[in-house]
């Protein structure tokens, strides 16, 4: 998706508005600035929205210019602003526009920049072409240009464009049905993207993982019909070469999850083609960082597998040995995500990156705790907790941290192995899963685990209009580029 963004320093005039088909405008709540058709818009605002609520109307000109109008104050949060932007943008896309205009009259420069960024992010999210399989689907008109009026300073939207591409890729992959995105087909898509982006790529197939003795991953992969599971390793390198990556992105890529022998009921198995959403976010984040040409190397590790049921499938009470030698007692075969991530985190740690972030649709417990509006955050650096929360508030992709005290380990003590994979009780499973994963990360390496409770949300989230949210790309860029938690 390529969209040209043109900044126009001059303010809206009646002549300009009369040449537009689609216009989205946000003004202050405190006053009505000078703008074309002001009295008409004021009357309609009072009639349609009680003056402050967002609304869409047609202006009385020859083109019937469609206007979406919203009002904000300087204290609006990033999440609220992105959500407002989505509400305003969606009605304008009913006409499948190729061109969209944005205006922010009356706002302070700082607030205007925030508003423009949110509106552009919402427009790009809505315009991203997502997979559709209807036999008589209408051909979607692609947005080609966004014009911005009345902003004196360049809002610098290169990052917004990169984030939109990364988020769109994450949503596109997650939406694909499981027969379209098997581990093998997924790997082929990744290989094509790696060639386009100039990434180094290595695939650790089941034979290679067997030689490495990656028993945790191999236990899950045993039931895979095509035996095309494996771990993808990618590397982005800037011009300045470095042996150690500053950042390692790790993603859970379970392309379909039946639950294994502990079979999920139909209601909970439906949608399990999206159990690879964590890997899609890791890949989308790598794409965004690459397009921004960051000056530090980034590794990306994607654990691609299926959790199927067959005579070969792993069973309760088995004891398997992870790549680092840790022995694991299997308690529940539907806790497969932490198994494939365990060996992948060991591999990522061996490269000694400056920071590891892993993304996973890991536990129902996190959804029960937070709903689908936040992601759960877990870290081995408790001094980062306030930064993690602030990064969520600033990006509009909100996270909330959970405790990581060592006494939680008592629940996963095993009588016959080093650790239990989980418990059958399910109490605090999101915390127990994080404590389990931490065992496979080198203690010297800062680590953040994001349990993506909000990977799928009915009706979308913040500026994202689709049920699949691609949550994590925008958050990670804020954390890495603005909060500078990566030391390179």
Say whether 38 is catalytic: no
**Cα Rg of the chain (Å, integer):** 24
- Phi and psi angles of residue 13, each rounded to the nearest 5 degrees, phi first: -125, 165
Q: Give yes or no for a contact between 282 and 251, defined as CB atoms under 8 angstroms apart.
A: yes
Closest alpha carbon to 3 in 141, 111, 152, 182: 141
Catalytic residue among 87, 235, 264, 483: 264
Helix axes 109-127, 78-92, angle to 10 degrees: 50
Query: Rounded to 5 degrees, what are φ and ψ at 367?
Result: -65, -45
Helices (H), 176-322: 183-197, 206-212, 215-221, 266-269, 277-291
Q: Which residue has the tokens 């790549």?
A: 323
How far is the C-alpha of 126 from the C-alpha of 128, rounded, in Å? 6
Rounded Cα distance, 484 and 422, in Å: 34
d(CA 275, CA 84): 29
Dist. CA 268–CA 258, nearest whole Å:
9
Measured between alpha carbons, how far is 289 from 398 in angstroms, rounded to an integer? 20
Task: With CA atoms as reference, report the closest residue to 149 among 36, 246, 51.
Answer: 36
Residues 274 and 468: beta-carbon distance below 8 Å: yes
Active site residue 264: yes
Rounded to an integer, what distance in angstroms lies between the CA atom of residue 465 and that of residue 373? 14
3-state SS assignment for residue 7: strand
For 24-62, give one letter per residue: b (16+ CB within 10 A) or e: bbbbbeeebeebbbeeebeebbeeebeeeebbbbebeee
- Are 364 and 342 a contacting pair, CB within 8 Å? no
Given 187, 222, 338, 435, the catalytic residue = 338
Q: Judging by beta carbons within 10 Å of its beta carbon (0-12, 13-18, 19+), is residue 271 exposed, middle or buried?
A: middle
CA 230 to centroid of chain Cα atoms: 22
179, 184, 405 from 224: Cα distances, Å = 13, 11, 36
Neighbours of 402 (CB within 10 A): 19
So which residues are the catalytic ones?
264, 338
């Amino acid at each position: 998706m390529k969209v040209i963004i043109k900044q126009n320093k001059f303010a809206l005039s009646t002549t300009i508005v009369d040449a537009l088909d689609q216009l989205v405008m946000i003004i202050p709540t405190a006053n009505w600035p000078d703008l074309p058709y002001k009295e008409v818009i004021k009357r309609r605002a009072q009639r349609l929205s009680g003056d402050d609520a967002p609304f869409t109307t047609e202006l009385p000109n020859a083109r019937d210019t469609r206007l979406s109008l919203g009002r904000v104050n300087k204290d609006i949060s990033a999440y609220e602003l992105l959500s407002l932007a989505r509400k305003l943008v969606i009605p304008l896309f009913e006409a499948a526009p190729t061109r969209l205009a944005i205006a922010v009259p009356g706002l302070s420069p700082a607030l205007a920049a925030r508003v423009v960024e949110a509106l552009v992010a919402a427009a790009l999210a809505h315009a991203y072409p997502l997979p559709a399989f209807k036999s008589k689907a209408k051909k979607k008109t692609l947005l080609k240009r966004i014009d911005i009026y009345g902003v004196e300073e360049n809002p610098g939207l290169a990052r917004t464009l990169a984030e939109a591409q990364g988020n769109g890729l994450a949503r596109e992959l997650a939406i694909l049905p499981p027969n379209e995105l098997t581990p093998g087909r997924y790997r082929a898509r990744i290989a094509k993207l790696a060639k386009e982006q100039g990434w180094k790529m290595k695939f650790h197939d089941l034979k290679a993982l067997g030689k490495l003795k990656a028993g945790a991953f191999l236990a899950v992969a045993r039931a895979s019909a095509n035996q095309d599971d494996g771990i993808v390793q990618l590397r982005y390198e800037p011009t300045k070469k470095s042996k150690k990556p500053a950042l390692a992105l790790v993603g859970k890529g379970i392309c379909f999850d039946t639950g294994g022998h502990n079979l999920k009921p139909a209601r909970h198995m439906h949608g399990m083609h999206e159990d690879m959403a964590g890997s899609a976010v890791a890949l989308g984040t790598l794409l965004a960082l690459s397009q921004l040409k960051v000056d530090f190397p980034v590794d990306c590790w994607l654990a691609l597998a299926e959790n199927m049921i067959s005579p070969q499938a792993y069973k309760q009470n088995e004891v398997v040995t992870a790549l680092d030698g840790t022995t694991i007692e299997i308690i529940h075969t539907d806790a497969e995500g932490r198994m494939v991530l365990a060996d992948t985190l060991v591999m990522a740690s061996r490269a000694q990156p400056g920071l590891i972030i892993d993304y996973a649709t890991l536990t129902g417990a996190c959804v029960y705790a937070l709903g689908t509006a936040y992601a759960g955050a877990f870290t081995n650096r408790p001094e980062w907790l306030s930064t993690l929360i602030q990064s969520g508030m600033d990006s509009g992709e909100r996270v909330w941290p959970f405790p990581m005290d060592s006494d939680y380990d008592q629940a996963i003590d095993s009588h016959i192995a080093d650790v239990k994979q989980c418990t059958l009780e399910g109490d605090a499973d999101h915390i127990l899963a994080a404590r389990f994963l931490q065992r496979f990360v080198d203690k010297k390496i800062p680590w953040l685990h994001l349990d993506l409770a909000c990977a799928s949300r009915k009706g979308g989230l913040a500026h994202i209009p689709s049920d699949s949210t691609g949550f994590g790309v925008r958050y990670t860029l804020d954390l890495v580029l603005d909060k500078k938690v990566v030391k390179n």
